[in-house]
A and B are shown apart, each in its own frame.
Chain A
């Protein structure tokens, strides 16, 4: 009896620890946790679009002439940084990290895309072309957006001296951040997109995943910004080969609060802008002068705008179907306008006007649109740029356009009057490269933009 008990006890303890132990500890502590070793895991990371394809930079739009604030709404802006941004101050135009700013979300997405590429390599994940291609497009989209915000306009002659972005090529957080040159930044964007093109299918299951069409359209946008119209045209046409459907605005219900719906036929990539500060809620008002440029038969006048009781005008034509989270990704209308502009700039007036008319045909009341004509390419370009202004407002493109137009001599002076005081921003002013958040300069030691 005694012996038996003793033996049992010893056996019990021994079994516990020498046999069962390692297997006992192999059980997963939480089924929802995993190491990102499979293709599905990495696709799941990229499909969480709130991490990678939302919160694109807002600072450019806040600085542009897409909207204005009433004095009361300006006074009601909670953060002084937002007020300073609105009046083009040279510094303290970004709230700090704890409150959130454009830099934070931009580089957060870059980190995630880099991590996915790192995982594919580290875990040797097979058949990962599509996922890798998506990550590359996200990187390029983010860098391109950031370059329009924090870098000067791209100029071939100064691209080796001008400050570019810190380019983070892997997810290691111990690598210090250093600003590249502007040429290196654009070269990286082009390299990523070109690498992505053969990896991606023409279209994805949803426009929340970057497709080949998105990569091509982004290349068209990059080359447009750089002033390389030949390449821009080339990639615009390639993108349109995959996706060229335009919405007929006659089919939209203008009684809906937001007649344009999320994921509509024109969207190529559903990437959206951060909502905060000046553009939050119903404060961003459309200038009367801009509203007045739409003809009464132009359906965009009704679809895009809402006139308040006090005659102020709000924009409601956002391609994500809501008031907030403006679409800054890609849509077919932009690609049509890029093709038209590039044709005009290369002297092909006929093709330029064909693309423009194809787009505008869908924007006017049925039967009212008379196709526009131009006698020469200069005239065509002027018409096209005017229509670009009217089609692509609140799409995160105006700041980029102002920079490149002024670089090419358009001489556009921006003016804002706040509480009786007038502020102006001269063409090619250093402040077109918005100040990098002060805490980032402090934490990383990177160079601030020249003021």
Chain B
């Protein structure tokens, strides 16, 4: 047996001794027609042969009694043990499978569908593709490998998982995630990727309409591993190391530039009001030194020395040295399964222990048990449960999170001295004023970021239990009834512990200290720590009753299901704050929330923050659904599906509660036709589907609603409430339709399989935010604003390109998505609405343009005399920034670049196998889109210390306009000048890039030679993986990674290196 294996790997037939030829023919049991493309393999899945058009095959073996496994999609698996030599060629008849479709089926969460009979667009990822990747979560692993799925990062800072682009303007854009049978409500990170058997992505209406309204953005169905008869165990362990981030991608301004700007502003008295302010706002260390020099506290020489020193300090270096550390993640997983033909079970235990780059920790324990019990021919049952416990704790303080003023810090911030001792960093108030107040009675008011994280910690714990059960009863032949129930309970406990030594607690206590005329101090906020607790408990009950009907008679095959579902998701939450916490004995103090107190520094009367609140939500759904397919002669299939949902979402009129969804589809197995020429293609199927749904946003209701704030007014002691939604009598339903046409094919020898899908989505009366004449009192309102259209292709190819000693398996995913606004109902959209604030991309409403488009102000270069940016007003060059960024520019006068979402995306995964080695290389690409890069914003620089390294190449003297596009520094705030420059075409870049996603090198140990008793160790794999090593190619010349360009503090995660072990025994 083992010899065959090795021989086959080296190259069958090259070295043959004592070999016997096996020949045979395979046919369909039903009509006796020969079957081609049938795979003949050893029991260890080494392919020996594939049948030809006449169903014939042959292979050579040296095993006198080989066990062979014969498989073909849609047919029952056939296993035989041969006794060689054979007297005559083998004659094998395969029967079509109806029930036993586990391995070749697609799961929609309601049914398992043979691939052959489906009419919709699915893509699937098998466990080996998931297991070749590493990481704590499942989502990245799906996005890396599934067709038509991507993680979008172009619109806002939040990465967004997307299936086939966007379908809605205002609604949620995330696809529905289903685990086994029911939507998953909790944190998706609770799913251990190792329990996943397969993932099916439902992309078109025929595939997903069974899920109703929530399927609008596609559905991802995660199927977990199930028990198998016979004892088997699997163990896996990995260790992942990630280096410190180098912070080089952060476009920070240099310390010396920053200090020079501060000096000049100081000279111009820019800080005079702040220095004199009775509120004593924080001053930067440089301004403080300049003021000290001005008031004679330090000499001019000393000032120069200290400034020159500060110019050499780089906060990024401090962070690298004192805050960041290499990260280490460890993952262990054990899986056991076994049972008899009547009862099978699977049990697994997983443990993850992660320590991040800041020393933050995350531990996850997952345990799972699933049983299947077949009591009789008619009655079967599944039951099981899953438990997850994850704990996380904060670490040190990352770049951008040490805040001195507003949300920023100066680039020369220094929080550790040369010996690594903590230094004081100015924060909240004027440092010198703080020091003048400290007459001994107050707590230390200094901020020490180097050690503060030790006393200011966040911890959270998430515990989840899922219990599920289901019974299936076969009523008649082909008709079965199913009832499924799932209970999910997720408890989250968060604690923000501002210990008594934390700056937060010390500052809070001091700020409220009341100093009497005799200098005595009364602390209205008691000394000690401040703790914020947040607890929430979510309980989800799902109950589903369903009738399944599967019947074959003659050439007719019917498969249908109908059922109903109830679902309730209930969340209770509460938060609490304790003052004066003594961590040694857990004493807490009392505070007065009712009366305001003058703050010690500012003198403002303020109330002590009350953080007690309670919340209760309960959403309920009721659904009715039916789905059916009819197949004639195994060639022609038609399918249809319908669903209605009702919910208790507040304010909906009962009539609006029931939303209809339907879909219809058809498929044709062309290759099964007699006229289809035998030869190259072993299977060819054409598919088509159309689906329709209507949606009323739960936030858009038939009446105006208000929401209570949860707190009482400090003036009247009565409750306060705000408007939550506005009644709009003109509202209509949002409707959308999706068309899909596709084909699936496989070559005769199954070496190349693939699918091509074309889809078209049309949305009418889509909801979006409308900018209203705000004289109405409402600035924006959700209303029907647009008609959109989206279309694209999904191509999936899977080929065994080389099949000799070296095997090369290649998977290619190629998707396109183009959307456009067909009709926009609003009048006169304002140009500045399309520019957006910072790098966020707003919704654009111009017919013919994508929903998320990059628009920019026309750029006229820099003024050669002043270095001011030049724009256009009424076609003429202009520097009237108020008019340009105001009503002077019409939307159609903006320069249009293209989509902000990749219009072409996909991945390529290549697997090379040679002897015991296999190498996987995964590449992802995103093409055909644009983004807006960040640059200097002078008003923010002066006022909020937000710098940018583009400052270095700003216009400084006439002639510079030929070599730079960065405007001059005027020391005169002008937000509209900055807004124009930051929204101008000169900052728009192409987003196209190709990224190396991961590389995995696997070595399968030769167990036979290692262990005397090789029976016990079936398989041992050692692997090495690199995840996210970086960009291979990018279109922009600035060296910007378009996936990590948001904000000025986004730290790019370095590559992660993993070694791992996976065994089966």
Residues of A within 8 A of B (CB): 2, 5-6, 9, 12-13, 16-17, 20-21, 24-36, 40-41, 43-45, 47-49, 51, 70-73, 75-81, 84, 92, 96-98, 103-104, 107-112, 114-115, 119, 166, 168, 171-177, 204-209, 255-258, 261-263, 270, 281-283, 306, 308-310, 312, 314, 316, 321-323, 438-444, 446
Contacts and interface: CB of A to CB of B under 8 A. Distances in A.
A152 B213 CA distance: 54
Contacts of B917: none
Contacts of B417: none
B715 interface: yes
Contacts of A112: 723, 777
A173 B776 contact: yes
Contact of A6 (B475, B722, B730): B475
Contacts of B720: 44-45, 47-48
B566 A208 contact: no
Contacts of A316: 278
B716 interface: yes
A27 B648 CA distance: 7
28 contacts: A9-B483, A16-B566, A16-B622, A29-B618, A29-B650, A32-B615, A33-B651, A36-B706, A41-B706, A47-B719, A48-B713, A49-B713, A70-B273, A71-B269, A72-B270, A78-B939, A78-B975, A80-B881, A80-B974, A81-B882, A172-B729, A208-B713, A209-B716, A262-B596, A282-B273, A312-B276, A321-B604, A443-B771
B837 A98 contact: yes
B907 interface: no
A439 B777 contact: no
A35 B615 CA distance: 18
B695 to A, nearest CB: 17
Contact of B775 (A80, A262, A446): A446
A114 B727 CA distance: 14
A25 B622 contact: yes
Nearest to B837: A98
B779 A111 contact: no
Interface centre among A21, A28, A72, A80 (most CB of B within 10 A): A80
Nearest to B648: A25
B1003 interface: no
A317 B147 CA distance: 67
Contacts of B292: none
A43 B721 CA distance: 9
A372 to B, nearest CB: 32
Interface centre among B473, B622, B719, B777 (most CB of A within 10 A): B777
B272 interface: yes
Given A47-B716, A308-B276, 14 more contacts: A25-B646, A30-B617, A31-B615, A34-B707, A40-B719, A45-B706, A48-B709, A72-B272, A111-B776, A175-B776, A255-B517, A256-B603, A310-B272, A444-B775
A33 B707 contact: yes
Interface of B: 268-270, 272-274, 276-279, 281, 378, 473, 475, 481, 483, 517, 543, 545, 563-564, 566, 596, 598, 602-605, 615-620, 622, 624, 646-651, 657, 703-710, 713, 715-724, 726, 728-730, 771-779, 781, 828, 830, 832, 837, 881-883, 886-887, 939, 942-943, 971-977
Given A78-B973, A444-B775, A47 B713 contact: yes
Contacts of B837: 98
B217 to A, nearest CB: 21
A34 B601 CA distance: 41
Contacts of B881: 80
A263 B605 CA distance: 11
Contacts of B830: 439, 442-443
Given A97-B779, A322-B604, A17 B648 contact: no
Given A31-B616, A35-B706, A257-B278, A45 B723 contact: yes
Contact of A44 (B270, B274, B651, B718): B718
Given A16-B566, A70-B269, A173 B618 contact: no
A366 to B, nearest CB: 20
A32 to B, nearest CB: 5
Nearest to B266: A72
A206 B779 contact: no
Closest 6 A-B residue pairs measured CB to CB?
Answer: A111-B777, A257-B603, A282-B277, A444-B773, A72-B269, A208-B715
Contacts of A262: 596, 605
Nearest to B938: A78
Contacts of B705: 33-36
Given A75-B268, A258-B604, A47 B563 contact: no
A160 B596 CA distance: 48
A75 B708 contact: no
Nearest to B702: A35
Given A107-B776, A258-B603, A314-B278, A80 B976 contact: yes
A80 B649 contact: no
A72 B273 contact: yes
B161 to A, nearest CB: 26
B564 A110 contact: no
Contact of B886 (A73, A174, A439): A439
A51 to B, nearest CB: 6
Contacts of A76: 270, 942-943, 973
Nearest to A445: B773
Nearest to A33: B650
Contacts of B605: 258, 261-262, 321-322
Contacts of B886: 92, 96, 438-439
A107 B277 CA distance: 33
Contacts of B726: 171, 173
A437 to B, nearest CB: 9
A171 B774 contact: no
A115 B721 CA distance: 13
A441 B772 CA distance: 12
B716 A34 contact: no
A108 B703 contact: no
A257 B881 CA distance: 40
Contact of A25 (B620, B939, B972): B620
B713 to A, nearest CB: 5
B648 A26 contact: yes
B777 A114 contact: yes
A128 B692 CA distance: 47
Interface centre among B602, B716, B729, B774 (most CB of A within 10 A): B774
B943 A283 contact: no
A196 B5 CA distance: 95
Interface centre among B646, B773, B971 (most CB of A within 10 A): B773
Contacts of A443: 771-774, 828, 830
Contacts of B657: 25
Interface centre among A9, A314, A442 (most CB of B within 10 A): A9
Nearest to B566: A16
A80 B278 contact: no
A267 to B, nearest CB: 11
Contact of B773 (A30, A77, A177, A282): A177
B126 to A, nearest CB: 35
Contacts of A92: 882-883, 886
A160 to B, nearest CB: 22
Contacts of B598: 256-258
Contacts of A80: 881-882, 974-977
Contacts of A44: 706, 708, 718-721
A261 B598 CA distance: 10
A146 B1058 CA distance: 66
B405 to A, nearest CB: 13
Contacts of A172: 729
A173 B778 contact: yes
A21 B566 CA distance: 9
Nearest to B836: A98
Nearest to B571: A30
A77 B779 CA distance: 25
Contacts of A21: 622, 646
Interface centre among A29, A77, A209 (most CB of B within 10 A): A29
Contacts of A114: 777
